[in-house]
Each structure stands twice: as structure tokens, then as C-alpha cells.
Structure 1
Amino acid sequence: MTITALSTRTRRPSFEQPAARGTSALARRVATVHPAAQPQPAASRPVAPSPVRAVPEGTEARGFVLYVGLGEDAAAADQIELARLVGELRALTARLAPSAQTHAAVALAPSGSGGRDVEVVRRALGDPAVQQAAAPEVEQGIVIDLSRKRVAIGDDIAPLTYREFELLQHIVLREGSTVGRCDIIDALWHVDADDRPNERTIDVHVRRLRAKLGGYAEIIRTVRGAGYRFDRHADVTVLASGPSPDRF
């Protein structure tokens, strides 16, 4: 972000007597300026308050969100890391408004998903101003709704636990790619978590997930010796409000 200060030039009125031309009285008159009309030094001029957007009655402004669209390739071209940029923006905020509290969230998207970076960020981080496309009506099959965190099988909602849905979502978002057990553990459990599982426990979680998917259990395929994979089928619909709900 570059802040450029633009200099302001003030033309001073001339107090010199204009050269006389002909016999015009105006030519012989000495220009005078009332003292109150003389320009004041910039430091003594009153500063007009910045206009504040009116908020609905009964509400108050509590802060703002600044969405920054900057992909890894663009950041590399600008010779800056996202972590450093976040730190600089936080430092600037702390300097301008010491009472401000900040929170940073990085939006992730599948490689090569395309689209403008800032729009990807707004959708992934749930900007309410972004108009989402209406969900298509599905009469049959299974619907994996990533935005609502639920799985519908026909007219029924699968009774998935929070962890089971996170497991399903993690694999579904990597459609066509094999997801290793260690990758699942690192993504869904904190390194110091008391319930952090081992690779065999992941197989147990997958079996429980498949049991609740009923006739669609095989949408999560086992890749022998490697992990698990999700392949799109004609009777499987995945709904999402953005390119990827993953964030950190």
C-alpha cells in the first residue's frame, strides 16, 4: 500500500500596484486586500472532520474488514511474503490506532482454481456482501453442502459428527487427489491435541463416516498404501459458497 502526499500550492494575491495603462481609474487604483481575506498559514487552518457514513439507528460502528487479494505468485512478483505484509499492516494499525484489535485470516483455494484473488478471499471468508448463487434443487442423490456443514441423502440429513464432516470435507475439497492419513491428521488435529489420532485411527474414522453415508459410502475410495480419494459421481452434488472453505 503506497500513501502519496500531494503538495498543495496556494497562490498569493498580488499587493503590487498594477502598471498604469491609459487614463482608467482602475489602472491607477492600488489593489488592497482586507486582512480577514488574507490566506492563513496551513497550520492554523481548521481541519474539516472526515465524513462518517451514517449507521442505522440503534447500531454503532465497531470496526471494519479489509479484504486483500494477493496470490502467492503475485506476492513473489512483488517480492513480499504474505506473513510480512500482514505484520506490516498490523504494525501500521497499531501506530495509527493503538486501541485497535486485529485478527488475520488467510483464504485458501485449490491450485489453479482461477478468479480474481480479492473475490476468492471475499467468498472464502464469508463476505455477506457477495451474492451467492442459489443452490440448485436436487431431487435424488447425495448433496454435500460445505457452506451449511451438512450432508443430505435424499430427504434425510446424515447424522455426521463435527469431526466426521471435517474429514469428509477435507477429502472432498481435494477431489481427484489421494489424501494421505498423515495429511488428514495434521489438517484436522492440533499437534498438541490430547485426542490426536494415529494412522490406524483414521481408518476407524473413515469406516464410521462411510457407515453414515449409506449407499454412497464408496464416494470415499481407499487408495491402498496411500490414503483416500474422492471422485465426483453423477449423483453426488457438492455445494460451496466459495472456492474453498479451508482457512488458517
Structure 2
Amino acid sequence: MSLATVSDLSASRTAQQTGLRVVPDGSEARGFALYVGIDEEKARAAGIDLPALVDALRTLTAELVPDAETYAAVALAPAGLGGRDVDIVRRALADRAPAGTPAATVAKRRRTGLTLDLGRKKLRIDGETAPLTYREFELLQFLVLREGRTVSRVEIIDALWTDGEHEVPNERTIDVHVRRLRAKLGEYGEVVRTVRGGGYRFDRHADVVIRYGEGPSPDRF
């Protein structure tokens, strides 16, 4: 195996690991765009603000590559809009699939959204049924039926652990349940938002459909 072949294989593996596309023949890389999904509240919680974070990234780039040029743009969205921060950034900055991207690749990335059928107790994510446990579905349903309102951990415990058959969890356990739920929601995990000092809130966005069904409310609490 030639050195050139080894180098090509290494570059391909690196591209796959980082999520970057291999540069096609006849073209050259002139830079890259790194979308950072973080709102002002999350930045403050981490002890920094967005301008300082941008300056830090620019400083790091200048240290690594003194001749590099940088350009920063802040993505703005309506207050309270749900969805993953990084997806909001990409949409706001008009990120699109590059010209020449194979149709199969574009189709693979296409998202059909999150559909929650409360009447049938089913959740579909991008057309596939999500494997939620009974408790995870009840937690999601509880938040959905209080859309836009912050629900405390104590309120969740009082509502979902009333059967007397299971040990009543503490507030930290609720955080574990929420993390597992978000993991199963995948790219739509941000519909369940953490409200610092308050609890959790369900925020619907354009990719989310709620079907309530017929008859009485599924909220039995």
C-alpha cells in the first residue's frame, strides 16, 4: 500500500469521525463553518456570555493559525421558540445541503418531525415509533398537556407516582427520567426544556405535531 493511499484512508477516517465531508476531486477547502448551539441563558449558567465566547474562539483560532480570517454571526430567533439550539442556528444562517450532495444522502438527513398521539399512547420520531417506557410516555404527556408552563419536579412526583406500588422518587431521580426521555427524543430533545430553579417545560416547535384524539382528556391526573 502506497503512502498516498494510507494518507487518503486516514483523511477519510478523520472526516467520518468528525462529521466533516471529504473534499471532492477538483475542489479545495477554503475554511469551515462551526455552528454553536447555545442560548444566552446557557452561556450565563456556564459563567460566560456570548460575545466573550466568540472572542475566545477567535483568539484560539489566531493562536493556532495566525493567518486565519474569522467571521462571526449571531443567530436570532423569536423568544421562546422551541427546538435544538444548533438547529435554530443552522436555519437562521440559511445552512443548506451543498451542491452536488447525493440525493440519497440528503434523503437520509431529512426529518419528518415528532408526532405524539396521546389517544393511542404512541410517539413517532421521523416516521419511526419511539421505544418509550410507560413512565417516559406519562412524563412526556404530563408536560405536553401543560405546554408552555414550567412544571416543578415536586409536581411531577405528586402526579406520576400516586399508585402506591412504586417507591416515590426524589427530585434528582426526576432529572434522570428526563435525561432518558430526552435521549430517546434524539434531535427533538429540546422540546423538554430545563427551567433553572423551576423545573421543566414543554416547548412545541414547527416539527412537532400533537394529536389529542377524541373523548376526554388523556390527562388522568
Structure 2 length as normaliser, TM-score?
A: 0.47
Q: Indicate the structure with greater helix content.
A: 2
Structure 1 length as normaliser, TM-score?
A: 0.42
Larger Rg: 1
